[in-house]
Amino acid sequence: MSWTDERIEKLTKMWEGGATASQIAEELGGVSRNAVIGKAHRLGLKARPSPVKPNEKSEAAPAKPPRPAPEPAAPAEPRAAAPRPAP
């Protein structure tokens, strides 16, 4: 597969239209999602936010309660120096 002017034009239009990289790859055929992302990057197309939003809560998964803070560690006891080997 090669990136012809027609395929690049289609990629650009779909990218700017909001299609996902997977949708573009499927429409073009013969390229992977990652190939589409790489080509869009090389063409300098505007980056888009990730569809995975880390702070968005899903209704399907209940929120987990926060973990309790760990107990502070006990102070370490001083260690005796190791004996030196005889000369």
Mean pLDDT, residues 78-82 taken together: 76
Inform me whether the pLDDT recorded for 22 exceeds 70. Answer: yes
- Cβ contacts of residue 64 below 8 Å, gap of 6+? none
Cα 49 to Cα 26, 35, 70: the distances in Å are: 21, 18, 35
Does residue 30 fall inside a structural domain?
yes
Phi, psi of 75 (to 5 degrees): -65, 140
Beta strand segments in the chain, E: none
Rounded to two decimals, the pTM is 0.57
Does residue 84 fall inside a structural domain?
no
Please write the tens of the pLDDT for every residue from 38-79: 999 999 998 877 767 666 655 566 667 788 888 887 777 777
Does residue 62 fall inside a structural domain?
no
Does residue 31 fall inside a structural domain?
yes
As a whole number, the mean pLDDT across the chain is 84
Does residue 83 fall inside a structural domain?
no
Higher model confidence: residue 75 or residue 23?
23
* Other beta carbons less than 10 A from residue 32's beta carbon: 11
Domain of residue 28 covers 5-43
